[in-house]
Each structure stands twice: as C-alpha cells, then as structure tokens.
C-alpha cells in the first residue's frame, strides 16, 4: 500500500567553500604556492597584488536578473571603452564544442590528484652500460652482460638465480647459453664501478670490495678471512667465537673490523641516492626567542597578496546598469563574469581563513608546550593529543589534524614537524601524567651512555625507567626502542 506524507529531516552538508577551505588547510606552504598559481591561471578575475583602499565598492554589485536592474539607461564612456577592450565573446562561442564533451568525468571533483614528477638524467644502469662498452666484448657477450646489468636492483645486487637467467635469455633474447658463460660475464660486471656491484649476497659484495683494494695490508687480509669463513658469527656479532676460531688477538680483530666498517653494504644505493631530488623543507611558521619572549610568525608565503580584478568589477557594474541585456550572449557574459568574481572572492576568503586557523592552532600548541619551546628539551614536553588543542581553540579534531599534517615550524633548536609535538601520556608511580616523548628521550640517553662492549638489554632499560619512577613493562620498552630505530643489545655490541 502506497502512502504520501511529509517528513522533516536535519542533514549536515559541506558547502563548496568549506570543502575548498579544508583542502587548502591541509596543504603545506610549497603546495599552497602551486595551488595559488593554478587558481590565477584558471580564474582571470583573480589577480596578484594588494587591494586599493580607495575602492569602496569592493565586491558589491547588482544582480542584472533581479527586478529593476534595467531601470538606468545611461552609459558611461569609460565603461563602454572597457567593454570594447575586453571582449567576452572569446570565452563564449556557441560554435565551439562544449568542454564537457571533450573531458572524461570518471572521478569526483573532490578527489585529490597526485602526480609523480619524473626526474631526468642518466640512470644507474646506463652508467654501468657505458663502462661495459669499454670492456671490448663481442656482440653476444655484450648482450648477455647487458641483460645481467638490467637485473641488478637498486642496492646493486643480482638476486636472480643464474639458472633462471639462462632460461630468460633463451625465451626472450633467443640466446642459448650456459651457467658457466653467465658466471664468466658476471665476473666482468663485478669489475665495474662502484666496487661490489653485481654481487649475489652481502658476503660476496664485501669480499669483492676487499679484493679491489689497491694495497692489501694485514688488516685487509684478516678482514677477508673473517668475511669468508666467519660471516654468520660476524653478522650476529659473536666476536668471542671469531677470536677463538681464527686464533686472533682482540687488537687484530678490532683493526680488521675498522676495515670492514668502511665498506658499503649497498653499493648501488649510493648512486641511486645521488639521482634523487633533494627535498627542501619550507617551514610554515617561524618561532623566535627574544630574551625569553616567544614570538610566532606565519611564513609570508602563506599570506599572498590577492585581489579581484578591477576590470572585471567595472565590467560587471557596466552590465548591471545597462538596459540592453537583450541577447543570450549578453546574459551568458554577465553570468560568466559573476561566477568568476564569486570564485575569486571565495578563494581569497579561504586563504584568509586558512591563515587565521593556522595561527590560532599554532598559538594554542605554543601555549600548551611553552616550557618545551623555551629550551627545546624534550623531557619538558607535556602529553598532548589532538583533542586537547581542539577543545582549546574550539575547532573540530579533524581540522586540527589537517593543520598538523605536513606542517613545519622553524625554532631556535631546529625545524620541527607539528605532528611530533603530539604524544600519548603515561602515569608515573606518583600519579603524574608524562609524555611518551619524555620516556623515549630517557631511553635514548641511556643507550647513548651505555658501555658498547656490554650494551644494556631491554630488561635493564626497563629497570632504569622503574628507578626513575616510570613503571613500564619490557615489551613496552622494546616497542619504544623500535620506534627510535635502536637495534637490540646484541647488535649494538662493539669491541
């Protein structure tokens, strides 16, 4: 049975202006500059520069479609000249194909577009091929060696089995060969620079580098014996077993270890890192300490000078006062100008609201962590979560999260990520709430001050924290240690 009825429903929806503000709020300074350039390109009503104070009619216009809009018939010569100089017919051409018929609309306009830039220059494999071309190989051997270089990964290792490479050459290159030929040409590849390239394991990589040394000293020969015969004990840092097995003195082992530590376990990674684009961090905030008084500034790039084009304002004003809005093209021209001015005004307002929200949030963080920002001592940092700042400034947690995301502040003790100021809390034996960052700082100091010949274990670190009043389990200590990228005690052992 069908029924008709009235129903009241309360629904909350974000306006396009709010969506635009949220998107601008979460981007860092560098991305904001790019976003402003894009808006200047697509919106001719938006210009760079400060708004003139004498313009009292900024943003005010009459709707030509409202009643009484065509009551005035007088035309100003200056406005008529502007209309002739700036013809909107180039924007509105009924003969052209509409843009919506030429564009694919298979994604939402709210989706973020992430594009990966491609860096130019010579690649790591191309550098190896240049060296290989100087080896005087015949065409067949050159093709096989080139195929081996193509299978080398970013670390500089050949991790494929030789048997699989033989099959690949037969099926893909129509080259029939044997493992002995592959091994012979692999040795040629391993003679290329950087030393250690083309190795099949860490042990082989280190041995190649030791053998490539010009002056074979006693320390280098001892290091080669350690890598060749005691690689497992060396990787596990069982130095006592190495001393006993090779009948070495501790000083001899220490000298050999110095030579091994100079080697590169990832020879290809150094070349790969050189090809990467260096990422420069642009701080969004600048904090200075003026004799104990903290002063916070917003990066000037976050506060660009934008204004609405005077030409567009005068043009809309002319159309509003004109009594000759007869044709469809004139009405479309008015609608076009009005939309562009509204879009420019919304964008300028969104930029201003972004500045206000950034400063409001950062002032709240600065006030909350005032003792930390005075000296930069992480033990002075208080436990702080997004909810604490959201309640302080009266904004939503998601808004605070957008502000803290990818934003940096330049302080007298370094450039810091805003997200690093947020941490969970722990309770001490006395019931005091402390930040987990404070506990991690104590752990890091304890590891740095330990005796490297006898590094402290996780149980001992937990006992150190308990002695200081932090009742933390051993598994929690292990978790914090991993977050600090500190290896276990056995791997921190040194001679």
179 token code pair = 């493992």
Exposure on the CB side of residue 255, measured as CA atoms within 13 A = 11
Determine contact, residues 436/421, Cβ cutoff 8 Å. Answer: no
| Cα(182)–Cα(147) distance, integer angstroms | 10
Which fold is adopted by the domain 425-492? Arc Repressor Mutant, subunit A (1.10.10)
- Neighbour tally for 30: CB within 10 Å: 15
Q: Is 461 exposed, middle or buried (0-12, 13-18, 19+ CB in 10 A)?
A: buried
- The domain segmentation of the chain, as residue ranges, is 16-50+278-422, 124-273, 425-492
Determine contact, residues 439/462, Cβ cutoff 8 Å. Answer: no
| Cα(141)–Cα(328) distance, integer angstroms | 74
Length of the chain: 495
192 token code pair = 């290329």
Q: Please list the residues that pair with 199 across neighbouring strands.
A: 157
> What φ, ψ does residue 48 adopt, rounded to 5°?
-85, 150
> What φ, ψ does residue 434 adopt, rounded to 5°?
-125, 160
Determine contact, residues 294/370, Cβ cutoff 8 Å. Answer: yes
Alpha-helix residue ranges (DSSP H) falling in 377-455 = 386-393, 397-404, 436-448
Residue 50 per-residue DSSP state: P
Task: List per-residue pLDDT tens for the chain, 495 residues long.
Answer: 688 888 887 776 666 777 777 777 777 777 788 888 888 888 888 877 776 654 444 444 444 434 444 444 444 444 444 444 445 444 444 455 555 555 555 555 555 555 555 555 677 888 888 888 888 888 888 888 888 888 888 888 888 888 888 888 888 888 888 888 888 888 888 888 888 888 888 888 889 888 888 788 888 888 888 888 888 888 888 888 888 888 888 888 888 888 888 888 888 876 555 545 556 778 888 888 888 788 888 887 767 778 888 887 777 777 666 656 556 766 777 788 788 888 888 888 888 888 888 889 999 999 888 888 888 877 777 888 888 888 888 888 888 888 887 888 888 888 888 888 887 766 666 556 666 777 787 888 888 888 777 788 888 888 888 887 777 788 888 887 887 888 887 777 776
Per-residue exposure over 319-353, b if at least 16 CB sit within 10 Å of its own CB, e if not: bbbbeeeeeeebeebbebbbebbebbbebbebbeb
129 token code pair = 């091929």
Over residues 175-211, the pLDDT tens digits come to: 888 888 888 888 888 888 888 888 888 888 889 888 8
Determine contact, residues 148/135, Cβ cutoff 8 Å. Answer: no
Determine contact, residues 46/308, Cβ cutoff 8 Å. Answer: yes
Determine contact, residues 29/284, Cβ cutoff 8 Å. Answer: yes
103 token code pair = 């564009």
Three-state secondary structure along 343-395? HHHHHHHHHHHHHHHHHHHHHHHHHHCHHHHHHCCHHHCCCECHHHHHHHHCC
| Cα(52)–Cα(269) distance, integer angstroms | 55
Taking the whole predicted model, whether its pTM rises above 0.85 is answered as: no
């Amino acid at each position: 049975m069908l029924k008709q009825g009235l129903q009241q429903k309360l629904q909350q929806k974000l306006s396009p202006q709010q969506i635009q503000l949220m998107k601008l709020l979460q981007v860092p300074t560098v991305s904001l500059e790019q976003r402003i350039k894009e808006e200047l390109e697509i919106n001719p009503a938006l210009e760079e520069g400060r708004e003139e104070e004498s313009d009292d009619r900024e943003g005010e216009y009459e709707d030509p479609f409202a009643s009484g809009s065509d009551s005035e018939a007088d035309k100003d010569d200056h406005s008529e000249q502007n209309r002739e100089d700036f013809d909107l017919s180039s924007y509105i051409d009924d003969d052209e194909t509409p843009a919506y018929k030429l564009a694919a609309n298979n994604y939402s306009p709210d989706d973020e577009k992430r594009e990966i830039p491609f860096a130019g220059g010579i690649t790591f494999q191309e550098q190896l091929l240049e060296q290989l071309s100087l080896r005087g190989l015949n065409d067949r051997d050159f093709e096989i060696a080139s195929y081996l270089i193509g299978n080398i990964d970013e670390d500089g290792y050949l991790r494929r089995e030789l048997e699989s490479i033989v099959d690949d050459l037969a099926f893909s290159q129509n080259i029939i060969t044997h493992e002995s030929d592959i091994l012979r040409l692999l040795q040629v590849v391993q003679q290329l620079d950087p030393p250690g390239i083309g190795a099949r394991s860490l042990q082989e990589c280190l041995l190649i580098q030791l053998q490539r040394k010009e002056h074979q000293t006693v320390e280098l020969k001892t290091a080669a014996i350690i890598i060749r015969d005691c690689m497992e004990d060396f990787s596990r840092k069982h130095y006592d077993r190495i001393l006993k097995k090779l009948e070495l003195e501790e000083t001899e082992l220490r000298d050999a270890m110095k030579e091994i530590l100079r080697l590169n376990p990832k020879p290809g990674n150094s070349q790969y890192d050189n090809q990467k684009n260096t990422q420069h961090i642009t701080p969004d905030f600048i904090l200075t300490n003026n004799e104990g008084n903290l002063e916070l500034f917003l990066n000037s790039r976050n506060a660009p000078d934008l204004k609405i084009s005077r030409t567009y304002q005068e043009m809309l004003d002319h159309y509003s006062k004109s009594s000759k809005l007869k044709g469809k093209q004139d009405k479309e021209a008015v609608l076009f100008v009005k939309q562009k001015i509204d879009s420019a005004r919304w964008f300028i307002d969104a930029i201003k609201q972004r500045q206000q929200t950034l400063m409001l949030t950062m002032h709240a963080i600065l006030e909350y962590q005032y003792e930390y920002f005075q000296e930069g001592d992480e033990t002075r940092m208080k436990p702080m979560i997004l909810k604490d700042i959201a309640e302080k400034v009266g904004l939503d947690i998601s808004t605070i999260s957008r502000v803290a995301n990818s934003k940096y502040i330049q302080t007298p003790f370094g450039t810091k990520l805003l997200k690093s100021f947020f941490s969970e809390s722990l309770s001490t034996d006395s019931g005091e709430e402390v930040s987990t960052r404070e506990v991690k700082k104590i752990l890091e100091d304890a590891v740095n001050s330990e005796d490297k010949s006898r590094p402290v274990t996780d149980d001992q670190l937990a006992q150190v924290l308990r002695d200081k009043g932090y009742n933390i389990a051993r598994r929690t200590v292990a978790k914090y240690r991993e977050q600090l990228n500190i290896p276990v005690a056995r791997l921190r052992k040194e001679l």
